[in-house]
């Protein structure tokens, strides 16, 4: 049953990558980061609709990429992103044309996620409003104030959070409405539910599920592809 709206966040300019094109259009093993993320969702039987927020100048390029997936999944659309990731996701949510029970938010530049994350999240949503993947923090964590160490944080309770993040859509939309009303700024979608007092569960993920942010990240993903023997064509 197709019950999930996927918002594939591709609205960033990728300035930290230092290139002339947005990082979602950079190539990894012969295909763009966006293509690699999109193909996993387009072939998933639970996905009813995919909306991709994009920088305005790059919408034609992203639309050309989506054309190759329309035979497999016709409900793919591209919409203009916002000034921030938060605004881009909200624009995509508002442009959705299908009523679904769930919504999934994923960073387009995080192409190495396992599709079974979506399945595991949907199973877990029976007793909570949202489910997010994460991995335990590996390094010593320090809280710094005004350039000085304030305290060492117990890393045993800390996780590095990834996407895709999956939510019950009714709860997610109510959380968004409250965030907009209160002018709340967040760095991930689970924070919306936390602010609204909703329960969010964590499921284990792989350290390979890297978000491409700086040039070294793309090099690391190339090595992961080689290690896994993934086809580079």
Question: How many Cβ atoms sit within 10 Å of the Cβ of residue 87?
Answer: 15
In a domain, 88, yes or no: yes
Q: What is the pLDDT of residues 70-103, one digit of tens each?
A: 777 779 999 999 888 899 999 999 999 999 999 9
Averaged pLDDT score across all residues of the chain: 91
- How many structural domains does the chain have? 1
In a domain, 135, yes or no: yes
Predicted pLDDT at 228: 80
Tokens 């508002």, residue located: 94
Residue 120 has pLDDT above 60, yes or no: yes
Q: How far is CA 134 from CA 36, 117, 165, in A?
A: 20, 11, 10
Instruction: Give the range of the structural domain holding residue 212, as residue numbers without chain letter.
Output: 4-228
Confidence of residue 2 (pLDDT cuts 50, 70, 90): confident
Tell me the CATH number at 53.
3.90.550.10
Q: What angle do CA 9, 11, 14 make, to 5 degrees?
A: 110
Instruction: List the beta strands (DSSP E) in the chain.
Output: 4-9, 27-28, 31-32, 47-54, 76-80, 102-107, 130-136, 141-145, 148-153, 159-161, 165-168, 200-204
In a domain, 233, yes or no: no
Residue 199 has pLDDT above 90, yes or no: yes
Task: Name the more confident of 54 and 11.
Answer: 54
pTM: 0.91
| Mean pLDDT on 173-202 | 95
In a domain, 204, yes or no: yes
Confidence of residue 13 (pLDDT cuts 50, 70, 90): low
Confidence of residue 230 (pLDDT cuts 50, 70, 90): low
**Cβ–Cβ under 8 Å, residues 44 and 141:** no
């Amino acid at each position: 049953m197709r019950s999930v709206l996927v918002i594939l966040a591709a609205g960033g300019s990728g300035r930290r990558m230092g290139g002339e094109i947005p990082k979602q259009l950079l190539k990894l093993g012969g295909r763009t980061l966006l293509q690699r993320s999109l193909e996993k969702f387009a072939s998933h039987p639970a996905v009813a609709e995919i909306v991709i927020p994009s920088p305005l100048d790059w919408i034609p390029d992203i639309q050309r990429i989506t054309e190759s997936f329309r035979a497999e999944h016709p409900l793919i659309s591209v919409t203009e992103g916002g000034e921030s990731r938060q605004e881009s996701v909200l624009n995509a949510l508002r442009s959705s044309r299908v009523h679904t029970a769930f919504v999934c938010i994923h960073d387009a530049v995080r192409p190495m996620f396992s599709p079974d994350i979506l399945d595991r999240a949907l199973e877990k949503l029976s007793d909570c409003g949202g489910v997010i993947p994460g991995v335990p923090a590996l390094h010593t964590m320090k809280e710094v104030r005004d350039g000085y160490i304030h305290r060492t944080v117990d890393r045993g309770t800390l996780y590095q959070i990834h996407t895709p993040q999956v939510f019950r859509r009714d709860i997610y939309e109510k959380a968004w409405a409250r965030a907009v009303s209160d002018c709340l700024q967040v760095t991930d979608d689970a924070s919306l539910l936390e602010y609204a007092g909703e329960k969010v569960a964590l499921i284990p993920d792989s350290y390979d599920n890297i978000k491409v942010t700086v040039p070294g990240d793309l090099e690391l993903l190339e090595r992961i592809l080689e290690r896994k023997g993934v086809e580079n064509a």
